[in-house]
Amino acid sequence: MGNVGCFVAHSLASRKTRPPITLLLHNREMYAKWIRRKQSVSLMTNGLDDIKTGFDVNVLDRNIWFSLPYSPDTAQKSVGSKGGEEQTISQSQDWNSVEPERDDEEIECLIVTTKAPQTVNALKSVSHRLTPNSTVLFLQNGMGIMDEVNKVVFPDPKTRPHYIQGIVSHGLKGFQHFHIEYTGVGTVILGALPSQGAPDLREEDWAPSTKYLLRTLTLTPPLVAVAESPTNIIQYQLEKLAMNCVINSFTVLLDSQNGELLYNYHITRAIRLLLAEISTVICALPELQGVPGIQSRFATERLKDLAINLANKTAANTSSMLQDMQSLRRTEIEYINGYIVRRGDELGIKCALNYMLMQLVLGKNYILKQRDAGAVPFDFSNLDTDDDR
């Protein structure tokens, strides 16, 4: 339930014919925050909040999923204000005051919006609830995630659920849990992926759960979602990956907003060198051989133009990777620049620039965490604040 998860849940709840929506919260602390937010997801647009309620939730506790259906009776009640801030109390903020039921019900349609490094653990927790009839949609940055999921979580192709790959380009900024800001209109591109090594997937071959999920999402106006073929979706993925390789890693290392990468000769030269390396790898990928227009679509100059246009369009934005770095969270660098490094190794192409950037981002993350761990906490609560002293 990060920025993308909240946006998708809010968008689905905005439909006239609203599907049943269950939010998966990974611990009891998240459930307490959910109660404090009055069991709602808020989307701010142009300074105005649009609040949606009526979601069911599942909470993971001691490796067991518990079901907690939405109930207006458990919403917070106002008890006045103090210092300009509304004070609230909740009837069910304490986990022990509710009666959750264990939920092992099959999940037909699952939308995964966790950060790439958390995907395997997240899917492990619900793998027993997914069947070969289920469909899992991955809405995440980076590439190589599904290969890792297949290896660790679903090694047997016969018991593996169906997959949809999604790419989100909407501008989203988080304020706090379950409350986000919409900062830029974008799209969601979706592609149903072939199962068990099949070369392609026709619409008539889609599983019922895949058809339902694609139909539901493409008919949800706020998502601006469109369906593409597997061949097209991988090209869109690689385009976004190339942009993330540049903008995310550079903004992290320079501690800058996206627009600050522009009109700087030194940075522009570095960006072009990085994109030349990325272009070499993408144009050599075996899965793209024979696809018309690949060499021109992923040429260095075209990728540079795309990166400049994106940085201009999102000039005032803070990249998601920089937000993770500032919050001392693990970044997705190993699934972005790291993906280029891994595919380059497979092809015999040394990607020294991408490897160096990945190591620098990992190193900066380590330094900041070490600083935070070594910081000495101070308690000023007992200091005398009398002005006469």
CATH number at residue 50: 3.40.50.720
88: in domain: no
Q: Which uninterrupted H or E stretch holds 329?
A: none
Quick one: 192 and 306 in the same domain? no
The torsion angle over the Cα atoms of residues 15, 21, 27 and 28, rounded to 10 degrees, is 90
112 neighbors 142 (Cβ within 8 angstroms) = no
- For residues 169 and 186, the answer to whether their CB atoms sit within 8 Å is yes
Band of pLDDT at residue 224, cut at 50, 70 and 90: very high
For the chain, give the percent of residues with pLDDT over 70: 87
Residues 33 and 20 in one domain: yes
Task: Report the number of distinct structural domains present in the chain.
Answer: 2
Task: Single out the residue in 201, 228, 255 at which a domain terminates.
Answer: 228
* pLDDT tens for each residue of 339-370: 999 999 999 999 999 999 999 999 999 999 99
Distance, CA of 355 to CA of 284 (rounded, Å): 18
For 20, the enclosing helix (H) or strand (E) is none
Greater pLDDT, 82 or 364: 364
Q: Which residue has the tokens 């647009």?
A: 45
Pairing of strands 188-192, 77-82: unpaired
pLDDT-derived band at 199, boundaries 50, 70, 90: very low
Cα separation of 139 and 13, whole Å? 18
| Beta partners for residue 139, in sequence order | 166
- Cβ neighbours of residue 337 under 8 Å, at least 6 residues apart? 245, 249, 354, 355, 357, 358, 361
Q: What is the pLDDT of residues 243-255, one digit of tens each?
A: 999 999 999 999 9
Same domain, 24 and 134: yes
**Domain housing 332:** 231-374
